[in-house]
Amino acid sequence: MKEKIENLVIDNDIYPRMHINHKTIDAYSEALKAGAKFPPIEIQKIIDDGEEKNVESTIRKINSIILNYTYYDTESYQTSIGPETGNSLSLSYQHANELIGSDVTFNRLLLEARKYLPMPSNNTVFAMRLMAGMASEGLDEDLQFHLGGSQPSDGFSSFETTLLPLRGFDKSSFIGNHLFLTSLEYRFPVKTIEHKIGFDWVSVFLERISGLLFLDMGNAWEGNKIITPLDETNFSIGAEINFKFKLSYDNPFVLTIGGGKALNEPSPFKIYTHIGISF
């Protein structure tokens, strides 16, 4: 379907432009001036208050090769909320190009390392996580790294989601083709409950309650700088309380309620809840 360009409506609610990449715009502008040809833009019709509008939408196909190496020797016990000792490592590389049928050519690299140190008290752990990522320059935002929010990551992070946690900040507060993230946590038991909650016909079993204190630091940025300066690193502190439940003998889950405060900006203390532990 062909439409005149003046009939197109750019809806900021559907396609927000608050993190627009001006380097990408300049690169496309120079390419168009040089005579480059790009795939056509597909038009999607929508109805808004009875009025038909044409909204631009670009659909791209991405075919890629992903290589991944994973190692872990962590240990958890019956009274644990999460891992209590050991190490884990994940290294992933992704490559996409036209030869394998992709509309976009790029490379991405993601490293995640975790270490769990048992403390003298029972079920008390010092947990550490380090993440670093690199991607080709000029990628659209959906392929860049997004940092911010409190989403859990029990398993290793992967290229299936580019949204990574930085507690105390809003989701996608920082976006770029480079990523750095470190989390430090002091985890401790609060109380062993071992009590059924609910009714005879529907109930859950609350095993125990634990807590943690955390310090997060990280950044996502654009450009070719490999290391982010310390004065551009974003810091947050906070605490979480974890409730370990069981629906059946082999079906446990953890409910987390937490709060975080960004130290780099005058934002309020953010309260959040989710299923699962931080890492």
- C-alpha distance across the termini of the chain, in Å: 48
Report the pLDDT value the prediction gives residue 216, as an integer from 0 to 100. 97
Nearby residues of 60 by Cβ (< 8 Å), 6 or more positions away: 103, 104
Give the single-character DSSP code of 98: G
* Cα–Cα distance list, 35 to 77, 79, 120, 222 (Å): 63, 66, 68, 27
Which of 136, 168, 129 is closest to 266 using CA atoms? Answer: 168
Q: What is the pLDDT of residue 113?
A: 96
Q: How confident is the model at residue 200, as a pLDDT?
A: 73
Which pLDDT score, from 0 to 100, does residue 15 have? 53
pLDDT string in tens for the chain (279-residue length)? 555 655 655 555 555 555 555 666 666 677 667 666 655 555 455 555 555 554 445 567 888 999 999 999 999 888 888 899 999 999 999 999 988 888 889 999 999 999 999 999 888 999 999 999 999 988 888 889 999 998 887 677 777 777 899 999 999 899 999 999 999 999 999 998 888 887 777 778 888 999 999 999 999 999 888 888 888 899 999 999 999 988 766 678 899 999 999 998 888 899 999 998 889
The secondary element (H helix, E strand) that includes residue 24 is helix 22-33
Count the Cβ atoms, other than its own, within 10 Å of residue 210.
24
What is the longest distance spanned by two Cα atoms in the chain?
Answer: 73
Cα angle: 207, vertex 212, 214; to 5 degrees: 155
Beta strands in 168-202 (DSSP E): 174-176, 178-198
Please report the domains of the chain, with CATH numbers, ordered by start residue: 5-57 (no CATH), 64-275 (2.40.160.50)
How many Cβ atoms sit within 10 Å of the Cβ of residue 3?
12
> Which amino acid, one-letter code, is at 186?
Y
pTM: 0.74
Tokens of 42: 């597909």
